[in-house]
Amino acid sequence: MKKWILLCGLLLALAAGCSGGKVAEPTSAPTETPTPTPDPFDVVEAATTQEYVDLMGVGWNVGNSLDSANTGRTDHMKAEVAWGNPIVVQNLIKHIKAEGFKTIRVPVSYLDHMEEDGLTIKTEWLDRVQQVVDWCVEEDLFTIINIHHEGDWLLNASKDYDGAMKRYTSIWNQIAERFSGYNEKLIFESMNEIGFDDLGTKKGCELISKINAEFVELVRKSGGFNDKRYLLLAGYWTDIDRTCTAEYTLPEDDRIMVSVHYYSPADFAIADAATSWGYRKTWGTDADLDYLKGQFEKLKTWFTDKGIPVIVGEYGVIDKDKDEEDRVYWFECVTKTALEYGCCPVVWDNGELIHRFKYEWKAPELGEALKKIMAE
């Protein structure tokens, strides 16, 4: 009898729950999975730093402009034109992008632009640097900024490390703070062509390695997106042979690159007919090509094979007293070799390559050769 009563009760309950065939409505709306907000810093699809560098293509230096130093100008803001180039304007940056360059290096000197304390950058100069950087960012260019002609005081680090680093860290703290909100296409470069030969190459490499490590630590702690910004660390004098040594060391960081320059052979790249220590008008022998490949093999062995990408922050040949066909061939070979070895080559232009008023190549054959490589 009890089983019958329980069975009847269960049937009545089921009947009540299914009355009219209605399904109970939810008491609240279903929760939607929110769409992730894009990180304003992450704009490059690269899983590794090498992949990042591979996307940088070929670059161009806006040389002898913001890097002009020791100019003696009463108005420090006029230092930009002291070395013969007009002020950098937005149309120039647009032209560089249109030519096919993906990267621009903006060398900046602060020597003539410090307050009396020697530690504080004059606001109007930092504003000017930011203006040029903003133009580069608007063109979606990978952009490198550094402290360029600072050897007058930075070389003193071999004798007065604390004194030199007080200024160094002060300058970089101000730069890092000003640009902390910029996306990952903005790269900070620790310094330019610095070495300490008074200590000898071994100890000199150890010292520049120490400064580079402090630079990385400073930037990483400076706030904003700087904890994950890509950083470019200068080699010893940015010289390949003197950087590819056991004494030149790098801090542990997965977003660092090494900077070297390429002006080899010097008697062709930077010497003219009046140079006393050697001069070549021509280039392109088998020995020349073997030497070029050998230098990039060194970079591969010491850095890229170990997961440290390389940027050739400057390379070039002067236009005086050269066989122009060989000069173009040199640019072609160096550019192609750098790219083949996974390096980003950034051509040095102090005003000799692209006309800063007319926005055209002063040597059309050279321009066409580089544009062909960039288009491949």
Ranges assigned E (strand) in the chain: 59-61, 103-106, 142-146, 186-189, 231-234, 256-262, 310-315, 344-347
- How far, in whole angstroms, is CA 243 from its chain's centroid? 18
Is it true that the peptide bond before 34 is cis, omega within 30 degrees of 0?
no
State the Cα–Cα distance between residues 186 and 232, nearest whole angstrom.
11
Which one is catalytic: 80, 139, 150, 314? 314
Instruction: For residue 216, give the amino acid letter.
Output: V
Q: How many CB atoms lie within 10 A of CB 170?
A: 16
Q: Is 193 a catalytic residue?
A: yes
β-partners of residue 106 are: 145
**Residues 240, 241, 245, 247, CA torsion sign:** negative
Q: Is 184 a catalytic residue?
A: no
352 close to 311: Cβ distance less than 8 angstroms: no
The position carrying tokens 């120490």 is 210
Which one is catalytic: 116, 150, 193, 297? 193
State the Cα–Cα distance between residues 127 and 371, nearest whole angstrom.
32
**Residues 244, 250, 255, 260, CA torsion sign:** negative
Catalytic residues, by residue number, are 193, 314
